[in-house]
Amino acid sequence: MNRSRERTSLWAKAWYKLRRDRIGMISLGVVLLYFVVALGVWLGLWGQGWSQVEGPMWAPPGPKYWLGTNIIGQDIFERALYSTRTAFDVGLVVAVLSTLLGGLMGGLAGYFSNRWADELILWLMGVLDAIPFYLFVAALAYALQGNPYAMHIAMIATFWTTTARLVRGEVIKLKQFEFVEAARAIGLPRRLILFRHILPNTFHILLVQATIVFVGAIKSEVILSFLGLGVTDGVSWGLMIAESTQEVQAGHFSNFVTASSFLFVLVMAFNLFADALQDALDPRKVSA
Amino acid sequence: MSSALLSIRDLVVEFSTERGRVRAIDGVSFDLAPGETLGLVGESGCGKTVTALAVLGLIPSPPGRILSGSIRLEGRELTRLGEREYRHVRGKLISMIFQEPMTALNPVLTIATQMTDVLVRHQGMSRRRARDRAVEMLALVGIPSPEKRIDDYPHQMSGGMRQRVMIAMALSCNPKLLLADEPTTALDVTTQAQVLEEMVRLQERFGTAVILVTHDLGVVAETCRRAVVMYAGRVVEEAPVECLFEQPRHPYTEGLLASIPRIREEKLPELPTIPGSVPDLLHLPPGCRFADRCPRADELCRRREPKLELRCDIAVACHHPNRYAGCRE
Amino acid sequence: MNRETAPLLRVEGLSKHFPVRGGFFRRVTGWLKAVDDVSFQIAHGQTFGLVGESGCGKSTLGRAILRLHEPTAGRVILDGTEITALPRRALTAARRRMQIIFQDPYASLSPRRTVLQTLLEPMEVHRIGTPRTRREKVLELLHIVGMGPEVLHRYPHEFSGGQRQRIGIARALTLDPRFIVADEAVSALDVSVQSQVLNLIARLQRELGISFLFISHDLAVVQHISHQVGVMYLGRLVEIAPAEDLYRDPLHPYTRALLSAIPVPDPKRRRKRIVLQGDVPSPLAPPSGCPFRTRCPEAMPLCAERAPRLTQRHDGRAPHRVACHLY
């Protein structure tokens, strides 16, 4: 037993627990691998030839085209790699922004619970949650006239509410804690009490929620792209699956299988990682 | 020994935590005669609740498990029972009262439902008969107009009432042994007095043996005949209550007794305390577990752990115990 | 009156009523009188022990004095400043002089902040000292509560309950307050640690001359450190007396019942105790007249008609006040 480990923050304890979770660590590895792929595309290391039409139509997998080509002779592997970047683009932007928004709104609503600010935020969340998601995206895409970020905005605008509800509940609970009263007794301004003493204790929710939103955003992106409401300039797994519908009828499955597998493995890994993260961060388990 | 209702020998319960394996209780032994009231006393983390849970077969596993030792109830070994058999024992022979009466009762069921369920299942009574019995028990624990209150939900009752209901439920199956884990800690003093009085009266009437788990030596003095004092997972002293309070033999018992807040005639300049704090069960000292806080500790205490030795009804685990004048050797 | 004899804290007719909401539009359907017309004083460097059972309003009273709950009526005057009349900004400054120690050592420290951060914060907020003097002050405070510099960078979950309570006390001391509310400060601790913390509080009071309002449900705990003791029942003070008087000669039937209900660690003295009947009535629907009459062994017809006022008992001795028709 090394005593140095006792002198650790709750974060360090959570990381220690996560490290011992084998499935959690494997899934984290898979997610990181995808991230490296996406990073490589950003940096221009690979996946740049996704739009070139150079090969024959429906070339079989081989040394030149690893996973074959599609109906117009584009390299499927290159396209799948580039789609990873698209997925991370959407996932990161939506996860970070919607979590920040949800955390802030939930924090405010919880801290001012039962006052007008809370009522307003609750009302807003109720309205947003009542609109069917795909209808909302379609309307927004139409309203923004082909803005490439219409999809992002729609997702952020709808995904933050779940986070906000969770954070609101947690903040209402934390507000009763004596350390918050102690901060008031010291004369700490409300802004500092909220941002320094209350919200840091909701980080575990935000972190888990961010991973869940990330997965949700990637899945939605694929579906929206499949429906033609999502990615317009670029390629995504959803677009690949959309174009593969004709191919599948002709008996060429490579495009479909590739896109689906890339998506499936990432979503699966991310979900498992989110579970492990939740276990590791659970304050009831950590503080014991 | 054979006359004992419950006999615990060298019980060791281990929990695996993220920091390593911990023996929550380490070699606990004591006996309980039929109809006797025994106080199991100690501060938080001393293993008193774990001992009670072990007797009930309710050690959460994992992370906990009974490593060795035996628990015999009327000569029958409990540690080797299967879950199904144990459930039978818990219903018929052993009952338990918990600390928090609010969470021990199911909030969405009426008192009637909760009480009759137990009777129907374990005593094989008909619903009607069980209800009559439940009303009778509620009257016994001093609940006014029990035939009306039995249809209440737990939240309609006060804390003291709920704890009475718990006692009525626990005793309704006529158990041989009642385990009460801090039954009055969550209650106010005036209510605590009522509930304790009720419990003692019923215990005498039914001849149930009681193990009262508590941190409050005052409660022990008023309700128990014998007390087992635990410290850091071990029994340090076991004695009849009169002897224990007149002349505690173990320095820990002595310190504990001295530091109880009590009304004093003269105000002391300083309250007596036990210096330091309970050792971490993961870093136990090699010798006596109390040595670091003990005014009498010497080389021997730091080197070798004292064994629990019995002398005329008093058992003590100490190299330098107080003499007990009343002891006729 | 000079400063020595004037009380440090004067509480006059303090009330805290919480609105009870119900119905479809969450209208106010009633008032819960958690604290009702309470008056007392605390002298410089003295401790006032406030005793009562759960729900009697003692914690609310402590928080209303500090304006952690806004009082509904009444005045609180600390060292000549009327706390209840201060605008928000001035109140923040006044918080330097009054602090609070909490019951639950597991909930009273911010879990993601180190001891150093927790203890520096009050001085940073009030812009006291330089970073260096602040750090020195923190070390000095830790020394006062019996801890060393090795704890500075540790987190609350690494400490035992007693140690956390010491850190909570150190935090209350960072601003050199004149007055501290200790709300059940030792109730959650084991007896052996409890007396350590009680001794610490008694020492702080002697050495630093701080006045305490020591709130507890346990008369035995309060005795050791209190100069005056007040007993509360259903939001009202029913008896106030110097500590020696109250324990030697309790007047109010409730105080007597409380005293006799304390379990005595002596099996040979199983006394005849006054066992009160029934439970504390709901504060939402308190009985008419004297709030204690429903459980009082000495209740008379008069008790249901008129609530007794807190009056001085005249026998030429210490100021012993009681709210009961018997006297």
- Which tens digit of pLDDT belongs to each residue from B95-138? 888 877 667 788 888 888 988 888 888 888 888 888 998 998 88
CATH number of the domain at A233, please: 1.10.3720.10
> Taking CB atoms and an 8 Å limit, are A1 and B18 in contact across chains?
no
Give the whole-angstrom CA distance, residue C157 versus residue B99. 24
> Taking CB atoms and an 8 Å limit, are C66 and A185 in contact across chains?
yes
pLDDT at position C182 = 94
Instruction: Classify residue B115: in a domain, yes or no.
Output: yes
> Taking CB atoms and an 8 Å limit, are B43 and C219 in contact across chains?
no
> Taking CB atoms and an 8 Å limit, are C96 and A187 in contact across chains?
yes
Instruction: Classify residue C271: in a domain, yes or no.
Output: yes
Q: Is C130 helix (H, G, I), strand (E, B) or coil?
A: coil
Instruction: Return contacts of B112-118, CB within 8 angstroms, 24+ apart.
Output: B112/B150, B112/B151, B114/B169, B115/B150, B115/B165, B115/B168, B115/B169, B115/B172, B118/B91, B118/B169, B118/B172, B118/B173
| Tokens (6 digits) for C290 | 């004297």
Write the CB contacts of A183 (distance below 8 Å, at least 6 apart in sequence). A192, A193, A196, A197, C110, C121
Instruction: Classify residue B175: in a domain, yes or no.
Output: yes
Give the whole-angstrom CA distance, residue A30 versus residue B127. 59
How does residue C317 score in pLDDT terms, banded at 50, 70 and 90? Answer: low
Instruction: Report the percentage of chain C scoring pLDDT > 90.
Output: 46
Which A residues, 201 through 260, put their C-beta within 8 Å of a C-beta on chain B? none
Instruction: Classify residue A3: in a domain, yes or no.
Output: no
Strands in C179-183's sheet, in edge-to-edge order, are C98-101, C179-183, C211-216, C47-51, C228-233, C236-242, C321-322, C311-312
Identify which of A174, B216, B267, B152 has the alpha carbon closest to the alpha carbon of residue C49: B267
Residue C15, pLDDT > 80, answer yes
**Chain B residues near residue A5 by CB distance under 8 angstroms:** 19
Identify which of B47, B48, B38 has the alpha carbon closest to the alpha carbon of residue B4: B38
Residue C13, pLDDT > 70, answer yes
Query: What are chain B's partners, defined as 3 or more CB pairs within 8 angstroms?
Result: A, C
pLDDT at position C271 = 60
Residue written as token pair 């401790």: C47
Q: What is the count of residue pairs from B and C with beta carbons less than 8 Å apart?
A: 125
Give the whole-angstrom CA distance, residue C244 versus residue C320. 11
Is this complex's ipTM strictly greater than 0.85?
Answer: no
Residue written as token pair 């040979």: C268
pLDDT (tens, 9 = 90+) of chain A, 288 residues, equals 333 444 567 778 788 888 888 899 999 999 999 999 999 988 888 777 777 777 777 777 777 777 777 777 788 888 888 999 989 989 999 999 999 999 999 999 999 988 888 999 999 999 998 988 888 888 887 888 777 788 888 899 999 999 999 999 999 999 988 899 899 998 888 888 999 899 988 988 999 999 999 999 988 888 888 888 777 778 889 888 888 888 888 888 888 899 899 999 999 999 999 989 888 887 554 443
Best probe of the B interface among C191, C224, C232, C279, by most B CBs < 10 A, is C191
- Domains: count for chain B: 1
Task: Give the C-alpha distances (Å, rounded to integers) separating B99 from B96, B152, B162.
Answer: 10, 21, 11
Residue written as token pair 């006045």: C211
> Taking CB atoms and an 8 Å limit, are C266 and B245 in contact across chains?
yes
pLDDT at position A14 = 83
Q: Which of A10, A187, A200 sits opposite C155 (nearest CB)?
A: A10
pLDDT at position A238 = 87
Minimal C-alpha gap between A186 and chain B (Å) = 30
Instruction: Classify residue C308: in a domain, yes or no.
Output: yes
Q: What is the count of residue pairs from A and B with beta carbons less than 8 Å apart?
A: 7
Q: Which of A10, A178, A201 sits opposite C108 (nearest CB)?
A: A178
**Chain A residues near residue B20 by CB distance under 8 angstroms:** 1
Q: Which of B192, B222, B272 sits opposite C195 (nearest CB)?
A: B272
CATH number of the domain at B111, please: 3.40.50.300
Q: Are strands C47-51 and C311-312 parallel, antiparallel or unpaired?
A: unpaired
pLDDT at position C21 = 79
> Taking CB atoms and an 8 Å limit, are A186 and C122 in contact across chains?
yes
Query: What is the domain range of residue B147?
Result: 6-231
Mean pLDDT of the region B58-85? 86
- Domains: count for chain A: 1
Instruction: Give the DSSP letter string of A95-133.
Output: HHHHHHHHHHHHHHHHHTTTSHHHHHHHHHHHHHHHS-H
Q: Which of C102, C112, C155 sits opposite A200 (nearest CB)?
A: C112
Give the whole-angstrom CA distance, residue A42 versus residue A45. 8
pLDDT at position A28 = 94
Instruction: Classify residue C25: in a domain, yes or no.
Output: no
Task: Give the C-alpha distances (Å, rounded to integers) separating C62 from C84, C179, C185, C235, C264.
Answer: 13, 11, 12, 12, 29
> Taking CB atoms and an 8 Å limit, are C264 and B245 in contact across chains?
no
**Chain B residues near residue A16 by CB distance under 8 angstroms:** 18
CA gyration radius, chain C: 21
Please indicate if any CB of chain A lies within 8 Å of the CB of B282. Answer: yes
Mean pLDDT of the region C222-250? 91
CA gyration radius, chain B: 21
Considering only alpha carbons, which residue of chain B is nearest residue A2?
Answer: B19
How does residue B12 score in pLDDT terms, banded at 50, 70 and 90? Answer: very high
Instruction: Classify residue B252: in a domain, yes or no.
Output: no
Which A residues, 1 through 20, put their C-beta within 8 Å of a C-beta on chain B? 1, 5, 16-17
Residue written as token pair 């650790």: A8
Q: Which residues pair with B316 in a beta bridge?
A: B237, B309
pLDDT at position A125 = 94
Instruction: Classify residue B273: in a domain, yes or no.
Output: no
Residue B49, pLDDT > 60, answer yes
Q: Are strands C211-216 and C179-183 parallel, antiparallel or unpaired?
A: parallel
Please indicate if any CB of chain A lies within 8 Å of the CB of B21. Answer: no
pLDDT at position B101 = 67
pLDDT at position A286 = 41
> Taking CB atoms and an 8 Å limit, are B20 and A1 in contact across chains?
yes
Mean pLDDT of the region B294-314? 86
Q: Is C148 helix (H, G, I), strand (E, B) or coil?
A: coil
**Chain A residues near residue C168 by CB distance under 8 angstroms:** 182
Write the CB contacts of A262 (distance below 8 Å, at least 6 apart in sequence). A80, A83, A84, A237
Residue written as token pair 């804690």: A177
- Which tens digit of pLDDT belongs to each residue from C74-94? 999 999 899 999 998 899 889
pLDDT at position A6 = 46
Q: Which residues of A228-240 are buried (b: 16+ CB within 10 A; e: fewer)?
A: ebbbeebbbbbbb
**Chain B residues near residue A1 by CB distance under 8 angstroms:** 19-20, 282-283
Considering only alpha carbons, which residue of chain C is nearest residue B224?
Answer: C267
For chain C, list residues whose CB is within 8 angstroms of any CB belonging to chain A.
Answer: 63, 66, 68, 91-93, 95-96, 98-100, 102-104, 107-114, 121-122, 125-126, 153-155, 157-158, 168, 171, 175
Best probe of the B interface among C279, C280, C292, C295, by most B CBs < 10 A, is C279
pLDDT at position C116 = 94
Please indicate if any CB of chain C lies within 8 Å of the CB of A12. Answer: no
Q: Is B309 helix (H, G, I), strand (E, B) or coil?
A: strand
- Which tens digit of pLDDT belongs to each residue from C16-68? 998 887 766 677 778 888 999 999 999 999 999 999 988 889 999 999 999 99
Instruction: Report the percentage of chain C scoring pLDDT > 70.
Output: 95
Q: Is C219 helix (H, G, I), strand (E, B) or coil?
A: helix
Query: What is the domain range of residue C284?
Result: 250-327
pLDDT at position A5 = 42
Instruction: Classify residue B206: in a domain, yes or no.
Output: yes
Minimal C-alpha gap between A179 and chain C (Å) = 4
Give the whole-angstrom CA distance, residue A232 versus residue A216. 20
- Domains: count for chain C: 1
Instruction: Classify residue C36: in a domain, yes or no.
Output: no
Residue C193, pLDDT > 70, answer yes
- Which tens digit of pLDDT belongs to each residue from B134-158? 998 888 888 888 888 889 888 888 7
